[in-house]
A and B are shown apart, each in its own frame.
Chain A
């Protein structure tokens, strides 16, 4: 019984992490039809910026609780800097090209950012653990967990609810949905599609960076962390159905639970359990769990 409880808690904690790293990807795909490989680099940028800023904050003896604000600010900064350069500077030039070409464009951005990060931060891992331990821990049975992990759950729930609210209950969100459904018609009706794309990409980039900056205090930020995150985020988002928020949440929950169960019961299969789940889901539901049905065009 105790083990089952541990599986569920570990699963939820991991799922919320997966949701935070996946939600920006699904947002950008949903609106712009771009499977953004550079999402992993934005995550890494967020992690580096977050740990640098938080590290600076702490090493200067400011109140430690402020380091959480530093993490948040870092994510916003990354979004504000990266988005104009990537979206306005590059993606704008290739809209309308084949989906695969767009993947390749973002793959190139990923390659460039990987080296850029290395040039800016070097290859030594950055280790700023203070914000992680600050909140203390809580116990379930004989297992104790850091409260910071709970905070991550809170952030992912807030992000999910917030985005759902914006999309469904605000004017801007409805415009966004209009653009998703038919870009041309929306443009004809006077929607500034350019702006919608820019804001979406910025939001997606910030979410990616937020995932990174919130993860930073729990790990040692090292080169290559982006690569690992990309495939995980892909798996989560594809399982749920590309472009669906609820899908991303469900995908994260499934992947998180499966992985947690694998680690507890059959650690031998942990390595590829996620891809088995991904393949199975796609076999049963070819377009993911929450796929939006599309009309076939003759």
Chain B
């Protein structure tokens, strides 16, 4: 009985909200919602990740503010309030980012923060977000450590963590190259490169206990010259070559390795190969396994909301959005969904029952106030929302960490254009550990699907 009446109230509030959204948003001056957006604007991560994310964020915000996003995001702004972005550069390392995060909140007075591509930055920011009680959505960093080592109230991440990239690649190869015996890797010598290699080689060894590692090359981040590494990889003659290189480093490696015949025998796996894939052209051999860190880009489902993002991005850049652009969009849409859910819930709870006097005023007041950060958090936890890359469930980290499925496919050059074929999709529970489990333990224990 109680439940039913609550449902009815929420439903009626939702109706009231949508009718109010039309009127008071235009008539009254609704205070805009300021969102701090932190992304790489300089350094090697700016080109492939930072700037595409920024372009997508700006385009999506513009579309949301004018009410041009597809359903269920077609209300204007966040529940009627227009959004403003305050964009800052993520470069400079975690120490500087902590300072800038504080400045963003206290000087620029942002209401929410969306940001961070670097895992180190995410790890450093999380406790500060907690201290300052500011709802912060990580949109692109991958390390599972954020919610496996910590527990946060104000911090959310709307993309899956990086474990699934390794697990799904290993599962794909189990079918594609069942006879593989030897494994080699070339990854940048920093946390993401090391984690990516450790996860992947552990997953491969779990699936093929007889697999041996021939060499694990760890060139410096931004090294550019891979001659000696390529010679070593050539001499090991491995069945599988794993790499999490990205951006300019990946292009340089492919350019130097392909003419030397490195990929003639070995199966190449590029777990973060999707951005810039189109630029590699004939420098990438057919049959390379490509990851997009989720069902993003070419792996995204052909649904209206995805077509909308593609059009939006293409009109701005002439290109299709890459995975960081999807990540940024997911964060904005997730926050919008949580905000509006909270607003509806709040509106529902403030509708006076029984007495009809002052109902309109009360509702307008509740509408103008908007939900508190705590309300939005309550709505965000365990939320399921729609995105251009499919459904996103905030299922891990006590409802703060998203899980999605993922996809892998292999390249095929068609008329000089790199396309992806043999695409396989993996459900979230097949490639991600259940709540409470550490990623590495779960991989070593056999990667059993969660319930």
The reply to whether A and B meet directly (CB within 8 Å) is yes
Interface residues of A (CB under 8 A from B): 2-3, 6-7, 9-11, 13-14, 17, 114-115, 118, 122-125, 127, 129, 132-133, 137, 142-146, 149, 215, 218-225, 227-228, 259-260, 263-264, 267-268, 270-271
B67 at the interface (CB under 8 A from A): no
Enumerate 19 A-B pairs (CB-CB under 8 Å) in ascending A order.
Answer: A6-B235, A7-B228, A10-B227, A11-B228, A13-B227, A115-B42, A118-B42, A123-B46, A137-B259, A220-B250, A222-B247, A223-B43, A223-B47, A225-B222, A259-B228, A263-B219, A263-B229, A264-B232, A267-B218
Contact of B251 among A7, A146, A219, A224 (CB under 8 A): A219
Since A114-B42, A137-B259 are in contact, a sample of 13 more A-B pairs with Cβ atoms closer than 8 Å, ordered by chain A residue number, is: A11-B228, A13-B227, A14-B225, A122-B47, A123-B50, A123-B51, A127-B255, A129-B283, A218-B225, A264-B232, A267-B218, A268-B218, A270-B218
B261 at the interface (CB under 8 A from A): yes
Determine whether the beta carbon of A143 is less than 8 Å from that of B234: yes
Determine whether the beta carbon of A267 is less than 8 Å from that of B217: yes
Q: How far is the CA of A7 from the CA of B227 in the complex (A)?
A: 10
Closest CB-CB distance, B107 to chain A, in whole Å? 22
Q: Which residues of chain A have C-beta atoms less than 8 A from B259's C-beta?
A: 132-133, 137, 144, 146
Determine whether the beta carbon of A264 is less than 8 Å from that of B251: no
Determine whether the beta carbon of B220 is less than 8 Å from that of A222: no
B95 at the interface (CB under 8 A from A): no
Closest CB-CB distance, A286 to chain B, in whole Å? 27
Task: Report the nearest B residue to A118, measured CB to CB.
Answer: B42
Q: Which residues of chain B have C-beta atoms less than 8 A from A14's C-beta?
A: 225, 227-228
How many chain B residues sit at the interface, stated as a range, is 35 or more
B223 at the interface (CB under 8 A from A): yes
Q: How far is the CA of A127 from the CA of B215 in the complex (A)?
A: 28
Q: How far is the CA of A288 from the CA of B195 in the complex (A)?
A: 38
Q: Which residues of chain B have C-beta atoms less than 8 A from A127's C-beta?
A: 251, 255, 279
Q: Which residues of chain B have C-beta atoms less than 8 A from A264's C-beta?
A: 228, 231-232
Q: Which residues of chain A have C-beta atoms less than 8 A from B329's C-beta?
A: none
B41 at the interface (CB under 8 A from A): yes
Determine whether the beta carbon of A223 is less than 8 Å from that of B232: no
Q: How far is the CA of A6 from the CA of B260 in the complex (A)?
A: 13
Q: Which residues of chain B have C-beta atoms less than 8 A from A270's C-beta?
A: 189, 218-220
B252 at the interface (CB under 8 A from A): yes
Determine whether the beta carbon of B47 is less than 8 Å from that of A146: no
Task: Report the nearest B residue to A18, measured CB to CB.
Answer: B225
Determine whether the beta carbon of B251 is less than 8 Å from that of A125: yes
B70 at the interface (CB under 8 A from A): no
| Contact string against A for B residues 229-261, beta-carbon threshold 8 Å, 1 for contact and 0 otherwise | 101101100000000000111111001100111
Q: Which residues of chain A have C-beta atoms less than 8 A from B215's C-beta?
A: 267
Q: Which residues of chain A have C-beta atoms less than 8 A from B229's C-beta?
A: 263, 267
Q: How far is the CA of A270 from the CA of B223 in the complex (A)?
A: 11
Q: Which residues of chain B have C-beta atoms less than 8 A from A9's C-beta?
A: 231
Closest CB-CB distance, B416 to chain A, in whole Å? 14
Task: Report the nearest A residue to B43, measured CB to CB.
Answer: A224
Interface hub of A9, A124, A132, A263 (most chain B Cβ within 10 A): A263
B352 at the interface (CB under 8 A from A): no
Q: Which residues of chain B have C-beta atoms less than 8 A from A133's C-beta?
A: 259
Interface residues of B (CB under 8 A from A): 41-44, 46-48, 50-51, 189, 215-220, 222-225, 227-229, 231-232, 234-235, 247-252, 255-256, 259-261, 276, 279, 283
Q: How far is the CA of A223 from the CA of B225 in the complex (A)?
A: 16
Determine whether the beta carbon of A143 is less than 8 Å from that of B260: yes
Q: How far is the CA of A123 from the CA of B47 in the complex (A)?
A: 5
Q: Which residues of chain A have C-beta atoms less than 8 A from B216's C-beta?
A: 267
Determine whether the beta carbon of B227 is less than 8 Å from that of A3: no
Q: How far is the CA of A218 from the CA of B261 in the complex (A)?
A: 16
Interface hub of A125, A143, A221, A224 (most chain B Cβ within 10 A): A125
Closest CB-CB distance, A67 to chain B, in whole Å? 15
Contact of B260 among A3, A7, A146 (CB under 8 A): A146
Closest CB-CB distance, B123 to chain A, in whole Å? 21
Determine whether the beta carbon of A228 is less than 8 Å from that of B220: yes
Determine whether the beta carbon of B51 is less than 8 Å from that of A124: yes
Determine whether the beta carbon of A218 is less than 8 Å from that of B217: no
Determine whether the beta carbon of B41 is less than 8 Å from that of A218: no
Determine whether the beta carbon of B44 is less than 8 Å from that of A10: no
Closest CB-CB distance, A234 to chain B, in whole Å? 15
Q: Which residues of chain B have C-beta atoms less than 8 A from A228's C-beta?
A: 220, 222-224
Closest CB-CB distance, A231 to chain B, in whole Å? 10
Contact of A218 among B46, B50, B220, B255 (CB under 8 A): B255
Determine whether the beta carbon of B220 is less than 8 Å from that of A271: yes
* Contact A144 B50, CB 8 Å, known A6-B231, A123-B41, A228-B222: no
A-B complex: 9 closest residue pairs judged by Cβ atoms: A222-B248, A220-B251, A123-B46, A220-B248, A10-B228, A219-B252, A125-B248, A263-B228, A124-B47
Task: Report the nearest A residue to B221, measured CB to CB.
Answer: A228
Q: How far is the CA of A227 from the CA of B91 in the complex (A)?
A: 14
Determine whether the beta carbon of A221 is less than 8 Å from that of B220: no
* Contact A271 B218, CB 8 Å, known A124-B47, A143-B234: yes
Q: Which residues of chain B have C-beta atoms less than 8 A from A263's C-beta?
A: 217, 219, 228-229, 232
Q: Which residues of chain A have C-beta atoms less than 8 A from B218's C-beta?
A: 267-268, 270-271
Task: Report the nearest B residue to A148, measured CB to CB.
Answer: B259
Determine whether the beta carbon of B51 is less than 8 Å from that of A222: no
Determine whether the beta carbon of B224 is less than 8 Å from that of A215: yes
Q: Which residues of chain B have C-beta atoms less than 8 A from A132's C-beta?
A: 255, 259
Task: Report the nearest A residue to B258, measured CB to CB.
Answer: A133
* Contact A17 B225, CB 8 Å, known A123-B47, A125-B247, A228-B220: yes
Q: How far is the CA of A57 from the CA of B136 in the complex (A)?
A: 47
Determine whether the beta carbon of A219 is less than 8 Å from that of B224: yes
Task: Report the nearest A residue to B250, measured CB to CB.
Answer: A220
Determine whether the beta carbon of A219 is less than 8 Å from that of B235: no
Determine whether the beta carbon of B228 is less than 8 Å from that of A3: no
* Contact A267 B260, CB 8 Å, known A123-B51, A219-B248: no
Q: Which residues of chain B have C-beta atoms less than 8 A from A223's C-beta?
A: 42-44, 46-47
Q: Which residues of chain A have C-beta atoms less than 8 A from B231's C-beta?
A: 6, 9-10, 143, 264
Closest CB-CB distance, A152 to chain B, in whole Å? 10
